[in-house]
Amino acid sequence: MRTATTRAISSWATTLATVLAATSASNFVALARQIQFMDLTTEIQGTPDVYNQFSQHLKAFNFDFTQYLPDMGLPSFEDVQEYRGKVIEQLQDSMHLGQMKTAGTLVLQYCYALTADPNGQGRLAANAILAEHPKGTADLIASLKEMQGSVFSDTKKAQVLDDAAVAVEQKAGNISRLLRGVKHYPGDVSGDPKSIRRLEEDVMARRLGDEDSALLVVEWTDKQWEKFIKDAIKKNVSKDAFQTAFELVPCDTSPMREVVPFLYLMHEMELIRRMMHSYTGTFLLMFLFVTLLGGSYIAYYQTVMKSSQRRLRMLEPGFLSIFVLDMGLIGFTRSAAKMLTQNCLVTFFFWKPERFQIQIFVAVGILMYPVLFVLVTCWMIWDVTIKDAGRSADETDEVEIHGDDLHTKMVFNEDIEQWIDPAAKEIKVTLEPPIPSWVLVASDALTSHVRSCIPVLTEKGEAISFKHEHQEKVKEAQHLNRANLEEEADQLEEKLNASQRATVTKRAAAMREERAKKIHAEKVALGNSFRGIYGTFGQMYR
């Protein structure tokens, strides 16, 4: 009852959240961040199951689409089990082995190791697998000898089984510990109903009923094969061991030659299906999504959008990049952190990267996306809001007067509660699409604008400022005072020049007057001298 109620509430909340998110982009962003936080808290130990179930229905808002992915025709584990059962029956009929029901998986893995030939030591790897399963190997060898026509009494057959079991146990040593390490080698195609597998978990819990529950060697990487073979050599397992099995198990003939590769191909595809429904799939999908979308957008921007004045508003690089990267930040980081710290299944058909390769790749992804994105965002905010705050008053006034460098710092407009440019020299004209405004998603998605369409200036040809009124008054007062000072300086300079000219004129007039007086006095004196001379001569001639 409680589970049904929780699912009903989750479905109702998911529907309501989708409707609210569709009304506007801001609603979608706010809702997505809240849901991402809720999904993140489900990782805390002790979180109630009801809360976890509720959050699971909202994973799509966290860009976690793995639970909604189609199977794309990939086989499930049940399909692999069913085909394995048919293969065992077919092998039992063709090989006439009575023990195929218990040794069937062992035969399949033995043949797989021979054909896979890991590190060029397929025979040694196959013998090590037989050595790990003493009881199954003893049954297999006894059945093979029976197939040769050997007739055993019950007592003799039991003695053969015991001798074979003792022999393989002496060779096996601690190899079984390596094979049965659930943490390192999850998976089982033995058809054991006690095996537990869940799509959402990469590390499966297993309960081995007996020694015949063989682990799936197809999941091993090259390093794991190498370690397995080295441990087998240390325990004195040689290539020449189990000669009877090597001679009588028909790995190179039909139908074994056809069914073994196909069976393991099926399981390779099942592993990919399981991987894509885990947090590993979330990481890979988001990595491909960000890489392909980013590369496609950069190519589109450089070839088409950069030179165009009319653009879709939602495709502007600033809005689109921040929206996509911010929305996927939590989901990507969460999946990457799990892959970095926990054992995970990563397979690409027949190539399985090693653990250290996965960790290096994930660490580089974390540095390139979450870390670099946060650092670049912080630097951009600092560049437009704080970088030029250390300017002196004289430098700021000089910049404002000459109209230079107006876009290096943004100002906060308290009226609209947004950061905007301090001055505008151009505007953007919004072009509404031919769609009714009540069609919210399509209307917002198709709205475009024309950039830099008209210059916007004041009557004096200056840039329109969006600063506060008191800032404008101070700036205007400073501007007028400087103009008055310059005008007064010009007037003073003119007066000084006029005064200098007047002084020079008066001095020249005085000098001319003094010189005229001097010349006049000289003339008078000269005239008096001539009159004296004339009087003297006149007296002489008398």
216 in the same domain as 351: no
Would strands 423-424 and 429-431 be described as parallel, antiparallel, or unpaired? unpaired
98 in the same domain as 16: no
Report if residue 512 sits inside a domain: no
Give the integer Cα–Cα distance in Å for 286 and 280: 10
Q: Into how many domains does the chain fold?
A: 4
Contact 106, 130 (CB under 8 A): yes
Helices and strands, counts by H and E, the chain: 20, 7
CB-CB neighbours of 179 under 10 Å: 20
How much is the pLDDT for 146? Answer: 72
pTM of structure: 0.56
pLDDT mean by block of 10 residues, the chain; 542 residues? 66 69 68 74 76 68 64 74 73 61 72 71 81 78 68 44 44 39 32 32 32 50 77 81 79 74 77 81 83 88 86 84 79 84 79 85 88 87 74 55 54 80 77 78 80 72 64 50 70 76 70 76 67 56 49
Identify the domain boundary among 244, 273, 302: 273
Backbone angles phi, psi at 95, to 5 degrees: -95, -15
Report if residue 534 sits inside a domain: no
284 in the same domain as 374: yes
248 in the same domain as 160: yes
320 in the same domain as 219: no
Identify the domain boundary among 225, 245, 273: 273
Backbone angles phi, psi at 204, to 5 degrees: -90, 140
Report if residue 116 sits inside a domain: yes
Give the integer Cα–Cα distance in Å for 259 and 257: 6
Report if residue 504 sits inside a domain: no
130 in the same domain as 7: no
CB-CB neighbours of 77 under 10 Å: 20
Give the integer Cα–Cα distance in Å for 91 and 255: 7
CB-CB neighbours of 373 under 10 Å: 18
108 in the same domain as 184: yes
- Calculate helix-pair angle for 329-341, 317-327, nearest 10 degrees: 40
Report if residue 4 sits inside a domain: yes
Give me the amino acid identity at 491. Answer: Q
Query: Taking the CA atoms of the chain, what radius of gyration do you get in angstroms?
Result: 47
106 in the same domain as 28: no
Give the integer Cα–Cα distance in Å for 301 and 476: 42
- 129's enclosing H/E stretch is helix 122-132
**C-alpha to C-alpha distances, 460 to 46, 250, 403, 456, 463, nearest whole angstrom:** 69, 97, 13, 11, 9
Give the integer Cα–Cα distance in Å for 440 and 308: 26
248 in the same domain as 100: yes
265 in the same domain as 188: yes
How much is the pLDDT for 192? Answer: 34
Q: Which token pair is 127?
A: 């013998």
- Calculate helix-pair angle for 134-147, 100-116, nearest 10 degrees: 100
344 in the same domain as 234: no
Report if residue 523 sits inside a domain: no
Would strands 310-312 and 411-413 be described as parallel, antiparallel, or unpaired? unpaired
Give the integer Cα–Cα distance in Å for 442 and 421: 29
DSSP character string of 344-383: ----BTTB---HHHHHHHHHHHHIIIIIHHHHHHHHHHHH
Domain range for residue 300? 278-385
Q: Name 413's Cβ contacts closer than 8 Å, sequence gap at least 6.
A: 419, 420, 466
Identify the domain boundary among 440, 467, 494: 467
Length of the chain: 542
DSSP character string of 208-250: --STT----GGG--HHHHHHHHHHHHHTT--TTS-HHHHHHS-
268 in the same domain as 121: yes
Q: Which token pair is 462?
A: 């200056």
Strand partners, 449: 311, 430
405: left (phi over 0), alpha (psi -120 to 50) or beta: left
- Calculate helix-pair angle for 122-132, 134-147, nearest 10 degrees: 110
53-67 exposure pattern, b = at least 16 Cβ within 10 A, e = fewer: bbbebbbebbbbebe
